[in-house]
Structure 1
Amino acid sequence: MAGDLSQTVRALVFDVFGTVVDWRTCVAREAAPFLARHGLAVEPEAFADAWRREYVPAMAEVRSGRRGFVRLDVLHRENLVRALAGLGADVARIPGAELDALNLAWHRLDPWPDSREGLQRLKQRFIIAPLSNGNIRLMVDIAKRAGLPWDAILGAEVVRDYKPSPAVYLQTAEILGLAPAELCLVAAHNGDLAAARACGLSTAFVARPREHGPAQSTDLAAEQDWDVVAADFGELAQRFGC
């Protein structure tokens, strides 16, 4: 570990969607009966992908200043309508209560098998918290369901901006009373880590090669010399002396 990062870092913050939890499998599972009920001939996993594709463009409207900050639950609900319309659904005929219920699929995501134990080990020595674009209630619901032992809930809604805006990383360090290098972002996404490193944060990459399904072609390996590269959260905890 470069420069014995375990002695420099005082807190680890985590990307959540894809890094800590398996969003694709769980959203597809929740969507399957909805799609069948409404006669939509699309595989649940393909629907989950279509919904997720709206994620970055929706946040870009906020990051650019063209739209004021709204929490991710709001964006997810709007993105759900766009995804369904793009798949040919007559969204006007679907009761709003059904759309609201499906939108909560993002609150019921399962952790990767190694997430909970690895976080519990890291918590013994470090402050641990999400640094997610998910809003506070969303992160709380996932944590309670999945047994994630966060010390705090941090991220986009606290800062009122979305990653990879520098403010999300820098203000999170300031909230914790830390210098940027004392805060380590753990993520399965090279782009997230690059934005954090540009702000002076320490970085740790954990590959999740099935986040986007068996045909995933991105983020299969570390693309820079991140401070730590680990196969899973168990190895991550070991590398940090936990």
Structure 2
Amino acid sequence: MRGPEFLDRYEGGRELADLLRQYAHRPDTVVLALPRGGVPVAYEVAKALGVPLDVFLVRKLGAPSHEELAMGAIASGGVRVINREVVEELDISRKEIDATAEREGVELQRREVKYRDGRPPPDVRGRNVILVDDGLATGTTMRAAVAALRQQEPARIVVAVPVGAVESCEDLAEEADEVLCLRRPAPFYAVGLWYRDFAQTSDEEVRELLTLASLERQAGMEHQPAAP
């Protein structure tokens, strides 16, 4: 097995941005991060492209007694995606799924309030959405995000991650308009193995990066030369 591909999430984001240059400085484009680990990656992408950054809330539904294994996910807008293979293999009941979804829904709402500070979610109708996370393992969480965004009728959904399992990247290509997995190591095992520093991203770091991205974007717009 090879060593880590990236120093940290920020480095992953800077490298990922190089694949997205066609979206630079486009008013019809927005970068949405999956909190929390996707935010540092997305911050670098949005900064390099000169486009707005926001978050899109998704919560993994961990299987009973196997919390690290995703049996599904929920996203803003009441969207629920279930991994039928996991549910059937572990014989998980509808009651167990509903209980987990309700619990994670509370946390999803808490983060909506904490991260947005009263700001409404961005209007993505007719826009290009670059959906960013720090990696794809099973891809269940990202699939929930794509499904939820589809309901808002964006022009295009681009899934972009620094590293992902080959199968997950290929599966998502059937649901998103474009999928960019910068590295597809095999065997994959887990996202964290491909970063030298994979410390947990805190709520405070998420808030700080969203604020910083907004301030930097405003400053950049103010220094743009006036149109002739």
TM-score by length of 1: 0.33
Q: Which has the higher strand share?
A: 2
Q: Which has the higher helix share?
A: 1
TM-score by length of 2: 0.35
